Every structure is written in structure tokens, then in C-alpha cells.
Amino acid sequence: MSSVAWRLLGVLLLCVVLALSSSAFLTVGNLLNVLRQASLIFLIAAGLTFVILSAGLDLSIGANLGLSACLAAAAIKATGSISIGIAAGVACGTTIGILNGLLITTLRLPPFIAIYGMLWMVYGINYWAMAGNTIYGFPESFRVIGSGYFMGIPIPVLLMVLCLIVGSVFTRYTTWGHEIYAIGANPEVARLSGIPVRRRLIMVYTLSGAMSGLAGIVYLARLNSAEAGIGEPLLLPAIAAVLIGGTSLFGGVGSLSGALIGAVILTLVLNGMNLLTISGNWQPLITGVILLLAAGIDTVARKWNESRA
Amino acid sequence: MTGGKVDPGESEILNGMERNLLMNISIRMTSILMVLALFLVSCTKPHVENSGKTGGESIAVFTKNQTNPYFQTVRLGAENAARQMNAAVVQYIPTVSDSITEQLSEIEDAIIKRPGAVVFIPVNSKAMIPGIEKLNAAGIPVVNVTDRVLGGQIVSFMGCDETKLAVNTGRFLLQKMNGRGNVVILEGRGGSENSVNRVAGYRKALEEFPNVKLLASQPADFQRVQALQVTENLLQSYPQIDGILAANDSMALGAIEALDAARRKSLVVGINGTLEAIDAIKAGKLLATGDCDGFRHGCLGTMAAVRHLRNLPVPKEFIFSLTVIDSTNYAGMDVPYEQRMCPKWESIVKDK
């Protein structure tokens, strides 16, 4: 069984436990609810997956999402045009992504440091611009992106499925996609075999930035408000979603479907604790234990396979 | 605003004041775009600002973070008061929200710069005691506002009774429910004293209404995103939720978004009296918000610090009055803080 399959088994086990302990869990409404919540994490985790596959790390996603959402909010309020707002948000995210890529490849800075610097600059700009204010109250036609339905399915979930399909085809069946894996596995070998490493790295950070910008738009539409700190709590869950899904922090191994599984596990934990109304004092501990179990199932399974061989 | 594409309900809310604020943000956002386009981003230390006046006393103002609108109102109040009294304000804000280590090192920075006095909101009531002791040792007087520091020497504490604030706000909601029905509580961040006190206040109010059932009390970390998701989850397991008691306004507004998307109705209350909450009250979405007015904390804290330096009397402790803001009494509370003026010291602090 592949690593993704073992993790899927983990998700199913978690679902069985929740279905047995809460009658509200296994309903169409709640499952769509879980998927919609997971889609918000997935959108940023998807962009991050490309970066981690190339053995990099994009720490600026939360800050980027915040600035993109605030910029989009200000643009919608100033012009009254939803499309200008969306364009501004995605353009902002993409620009930050390109800057990240250039910092890493041109200045040859270690990705962690370059992007850590970028993270503070983006926060700084956003804190200064927003000065503690909140922009809120958007037209219904914009808010459908976050809270609307199409044929009974929440729109963020449709966006998630679209990104999953396009992204998976890209990583699995295109040369560029294969090159990301190759760079992550061994950048030196990749370079020697003629892969334009620099350009591909700029591409993955740009993709990550663009996805943060897009996620910022969906968050804005979902929350109907933007404040400077909106992305702050999302960075670690996004990284966790990618890694729980089996993508290696050292690059070259992993997939977008893994990120989806990671996002669903994170969401299920909160959903389950809320449905069972577990006291806030116990929630962090239980979250930790379940995450370790979910991530550990793969290792245990592999050990077991080896011992039988 | 071109108006055409904005639905009329939204643009009605946009009064002149808010438009000003938005204009401000838009101008700043446009300049960001230009900076981004030029790829010339320079890193500035955004949190040290001088209000410009010199010659007067220098007051160092310590707040918890740059993200919560409440602390922004405290800072604006402090700057307004300093301007009125011809003093100068230097703001100290941790870049990592609520960071204990960062606030401690900011205290050390401030001691080197030797302000006349300090207006202090601790990120943590116990962990900041050593910081206060350092200020004491340096001979810099401290006025403690909003959250009480549980040690060290202070000139004055000026704050509000968070538990009572939640009792009053909770009682208001429960009365509107005619003392009957199901409620849930949205707690703040685990371990935060504000959250503990406010939740205790809500529970105390619930004790007065035996026919109201508390279905669940769940943490949402004072954050809008979390509150949205927690409320969505609770709506799945409880078909009938009549009231939601949120420990701050951000969570109350997140809960309202969840209710709207699920086409469900509940009465919702929050705490802090933010402008956004007041607009939600106007729009009929939020029932009420408990308010202790951070702007006044900034005003009076700074005034107390300056008064102390000018040898004028300052009370050892001052507890602010509380208001539960609802659709009947929001008038005057919906003015942007940039355009508000600090009240006169004598009109608030009566000599005993």
C-alpha cells in the first residue's frame, strides 16, 4: 500500500470513531462542512506543496494571504468592482511569490532566511497600512466565493477540487512537474541533467504566492472582513497539512492529494472536538495525540511490512 | 465608490466617516502597490512612533499586539491625550503578538531611552512582574491600564471588571431570550485571563436563568476564522441554538457569518465595542456588545502618567464604567476613533 493509501485509512478510522461517538457527524451537511473548512487550508497547502517538493519552504504564506486579502478588500471598497479586487489580491500574492523566488535564486540566500525576512516585511507593510483597522461588509456577489453553493456543493470545495485536479496533472504528467521532484531530490544532479533549476525555483515560489493570494480572496469572501492578522494563525496548519499528507520536508517526495488528506485530518480533529464538546482545556492535548497517530500510521505500517518480508 | 456594483444595503452603511477611513486605507494600499511594482521594499520598524510634540513629558505606551483593534484604540487615545496635554508618546508593540520575551526586551529598550513615565498593558499579568520591577528600579513611574499586573509598584491601575462586563452582556442576551432556550459560549485563547474572566462572567449570568441550557462552551482563540469554523461545527450538532455568547467581537462576527451561511438565526453578543460590531448592531445582525472603551483607557492612562509627573493627584485605582451597547444606545459610539476626543479628566475621575 502506498503512503497516501495508509493515510487515507487513517482518515477513515478517524471518521468511523467520530461517526460512532456523534450522531451529527455522518450527515451530508456536516461532511460538506468539513470539506469546506478543509478547502481553506488546502488552498494554501497546495501552493506550499510545490515549494516543499523542491526542498524549499515558504514561510510567507500566512503574511502573504493577509496582505492579499487586505489589498483585495481595499480595492473592492475603493472601486466597487469585484474583479478588480480579485485581480489585485491574486497579483499581490503572485508578486510576493516572484520576489521570494528572486531572493532565493539571485541573492543565493538560504530559502528559510530569505523568506523569513520577507515574512516580516509583508507583515510590517500590512500592519502599517491597516493600522489596526478592519475592512468589512462586501457585496453578496463577492461573498458567494466563500459561502455560496453550486449544485449543492460549496464553492470553496469546487475550487479545491479544481486545484487538486489541475495541480496533480501538472506534477504527475508534465515535464515541469517532474523537474520539481528532480530538483527536490537532488538539485546538483538536476542542474547537471540540464534542468533550469533557477527558473523552476522561481516558478514554484510564484505558484505558492499565487495560491496564497487566491486563498486570501476566498478567506475574505468567507469572513466578509479583512484585518492585518488574518493569515497569522494559518502558517503552521498549512505546513502541517502538507507534511501530515506524506510530503517530505527534504523534497522530492509527496503529492497534492497528500496535502488534501492532511487538511482533512486537521479539520476533522476540530470538527470532532466541537461535535463532542470536549473542554477547551483538553483540546490542544487531544489535537497533538491524534496528529501523531495520523502521521505515525504510515511509519508503523512500513515497519510491519518490513518485518514480514 | 462607483456605486453601481455595490448592493444598496452595503453602501448605506458607508457613511462619511467610514469613507474617510477607507480612503486612508486605500491611499496606503495604493502606495504599497507602487512599492511592490518597483521592487523597492524597505523594512521599517513600524511600531515606534513619535507623536511629534517635543518639549513635554515623554510617555512610553506598551500594548499587546498590532492586530487587535482594541489596542489600536488604546494607542489613539494615548496620542490624543498627549496632544491635549502637550506631552509626547512613544509606542511599544511586540511584533510577535502577545510575546512575553519581546515585551520584556522592549521594557529594557525603554529604560535606556528613559521616558518620563510608562503606560503599561502587560501581555501577561504574572510574567510581566519582573519587567515592572526593572522599571521600578530605574525610577520610572508606571500607570497600569486594562489588564492588571500582579506585582511591582504602580502609580495607578485603571481598568475594568472583565467578569462584570461579561455578566452584564450575558444577562442582556438572556433577558432578550425571555430566559428560555439553548446557548453556546465561544471562549477566547486557552490560558488567557481575559477569556477566563469573560467566560466566568457569562456562566455567572447563566446561573440567573435556570431555564436556559448551555449546550457547549468551546474555544475559538479570540479569532474570527476559528469562531466561524467552531460555530459551523456546533450548528451541525445542535438543531436549535438560540443564543451565542462570544468572549470578543471578532468571534461574535465570525459566528454571525457561520449563521448567515447556514441560514440559521441566533441572538449573538460580543465584547469590546469595536466599530465593526456597532455596524453589525445597526444592521440588526449583532444583538449587543459589552464595552469598556479602550480609547478612554489610553486617554486616562496617559493623563494619569502626565498628571503624576506634574504632581497632580491620581487615584491609586480607577475602575471604568461599563456599557452594553445595543440598537438603542449606539449613537456617538460609531465615530471613528481618529476623530474622537479624549474626555476631560475631571468629567471621568471624580475626587473622592
- Tens digit of pLDDT for each residue in A150-181? 999 999 999 999 999 999 999 999 999 999 99
Among A136, A139, A270, the residue with its CB nearest the CB of B229 is A270
Write phi, then psi, for B46 (nearest 5 degrees): -75, -15
pLDDT(B28) > 90:
no
For residue range B85-100, list pLDDT tens digits in order. 999 999 999 988 889 9
Residue B216 with chain A: CB contacts under 8 Å: 274, 277
Determine the distance in angstroms separating the CA of A228 from the nearest CA of chain B, rounded to an integer: 6
| Burial group, residue B236, by CB count within 10 angstroms (0-12, 13-18, 19+) | buried
A128 and B68: CB-CB below 8 Å? no
Q: How far is CA B90 from CA A127, B155, B304, in A?
A: 17, 19, 16
What is the spatial distance between Cα B328 and Cα B154, in angstroms, rounded to a whole number?
38
Could you report the per-residue pLDDT of A19-62, keeping only the tens digit for each? 999 999 999 999 999 999 999 999 999 999 999 999 999 999 99
Q: Can you tell me the distance from the alpha carbon of B127 to that of B115, in angstroms, rounded to the nearest whole number? A: 22
Domains in chain A: boundaries: 3-302
B97 inside 8 A of chain A by CB: yes
Residue A299 contacts B, CB cutoff 8 Å: no
pLDDT at B39: 47
CATH T-level assignment (fold) for domain B58-160+293-321: Rossmann fold (3.40.50)
Distance from the B292 Cα atom to the nearest Cα atom in chain A, whole angstroms: 18
**Which of B238, B233, B175 lies closest to B205, judged by CA?**
B175
Give me chain B's average pLDDT, please: 87
Burial of B145 (0-12, 13-18, 19+ CB in 10 A): buried
Please indicate if any CB of chain B lies within 8 Å of the CB of A287: no
Q: What is the ipTM of this complex?
A: 0.89
The enclosing H or E element of B159 equals: strand B156-159
The pLDDT of residue B41 = 40
- Give chain A's radius of gyration (CA, Å): 20
Measured between beta carbons, the chain B residues lying within 8 angstroms of A96 are 36
Cα–Cα distance measured from residue B285 to residue B144, given in angstroms and rounded to the nearest whole number:
35
Q: The C-alpha cell of A193 is what?
A: 541533467
Beta strands A134-136 and A225-227 are: antiparallel
Contacts of B226 in chain A (CB under 8 A): 233
Residue in this structure with the C-alpha cell 485581480, named with its chain if needed: A87
Residue B17 near residue B46, CB atoms below 8 Å? no
Of the candidates B39, B219, B250, the beta carbon closest to that of A99 is on B39
Whether A248 has its CB under 8 Å from any CB of chain B: the answer is no
> Given an 8 Å threshold on Cβ–Cβ distance, is B25 in contact with A129?
yes
Residue B247 binned pLDDT confidence (cut-offs 50, 70, 90): very high
Chain A nearest C-alpha distance from B261 (Å): 6
Does the pLDDT value for residue B348 go beyond 90?
no
Indicate the SS3 state at residue A154: strand
What residue segments make up the domains of chain B, in order of their start? 58-160+293-321, 162-291
Domains B58-160+293-321 and B162-291 share a fold: yes
Q: Establish if A144 touches chain B: CB-CB under 8 angstroms.
A: no
Q: What distance in Å separates the CA atoms of residue A46 and residue A263, rounded to the nearest whole number?
A: 10
Please give the pLDDT value at position B45.
38
For the stretch B39-96, pLDDT in tens is 444 433 334 444 443 458 999 999 998 887 889 899 999 999 999 999 999 999 998 8
pLDDT at B2: 40
Is residue B11 over pLDDT 50? no
Give chain B's length: 352
- pLDDT tens figures, B189-213: 887 788 999 999 999 999 999 999 9
Joined grid coordinates for residue B220: 475559538
Enumerate residues 156 to 215 of chain A having a beta carbon within 8 A of any beta carbon in chain B. Answer: none
Residues in chain A, total: 309
Of B3, B190, B229, the CB nearest to A280: B190
Band of the pLDDT at B228, cuts 50, 70, 90? very high
| Residue B36 touches chain A, beta carbons under 8 Å | yes
| CATH architecture designation of domain B162-291 | 3-Layer(aba) Sandwich (3.40)
The domain A3-302 is classified under which CATH number: 1.20.120, 1.20.1070, 2.60.120, 1.10.3470? 1.10.3470
- Beta-carbon contacts of A280 under 8 Å, excluding residues fewer than 6 positions away, are B187, B190, B217, B218, B219
